[in-house]
Amino acid sequence: MPDPAARDELLMLAAGKGDLDVFEEIVRRHQTWVWRTAYRFLGHEQEAEDMAQEAFLRILEAASRYQPSASFRTYFYRVLIRLCIDRTRKKQPAVVGHVPDVPDSSPGPEESLIEREHRAWIRKALDSLPPNQKAAIVLRHYEELSYGEIAQALDTTVKSVEGLIGRARTTLRSLLVAAEKAG
């Protein structure tokens, strides 16, 4: 049996020939991380759901033209991130105070309040970044992609990704320090 990544590419090639049952398998395999990435980028559950659905529709529409030159997952990240960047350019992202997939460690009320404030600061700081910097940070720190994978997903060079992440980290650091001092 081929490895999962190669299997994704084979499934996508079959979907390109009109096999919708195969495409349903692609959706089942990837819907969780697609939604999670969109949520981390957009900060709003419903918008993340809309972006995930739109990304799957785009992938299905392009299935007949799909050529596995990069891993399927990297290809999908490219489609999803472009959609999220377009969405943020059209609309100011919402600031949210929680990330649904953070495990509940049942802290006390004071710790919960501090944790919610920190997450809100981080979300606000992320939302203030230019879209490409935000995409690079989300893909690196939340999705744990390598610099090479991020470069493929953003259709740029590794050197450019290094610059995006460096500038984003500098901006985030200064914004979070300012938020700590203000709070």
Neighbours of 26 (CB within 10 A): 21
| CA 139 – CA 125 distance, rounded (Å) | 16
User: What is the pLDDT, as a whole number, of residue 154?
Assistant: 93
Determine if residue 43 is left, alpha or beta; phi over 0 gives left, psi from -120 to 50 gives alpha, anything else beta.
left
Report the predicted TM-score, pTM, of the whole model to 2 decimal places: 0.74
Q: Which domains does the chain have, with CATH numbers?
A: 1-93 (1.10.1740.10), 106-183 (1.10.10.10)
Helices marked H in the chain — which ranges? 4-16, 20-42, 45-61, 72-90, 109-128, 131-137, 147-154, 158-182
Mean pLDDT by 10 residues, the chain (183 residues): 69 91 93 94 93 95 88 92 90 50 56 73 87 93 92 94 95 84 73
Neighbours of 150 (CB within 10 A): 26
User: What is the pLDDT, as a whole number, of residue 46?
Assistant: 94
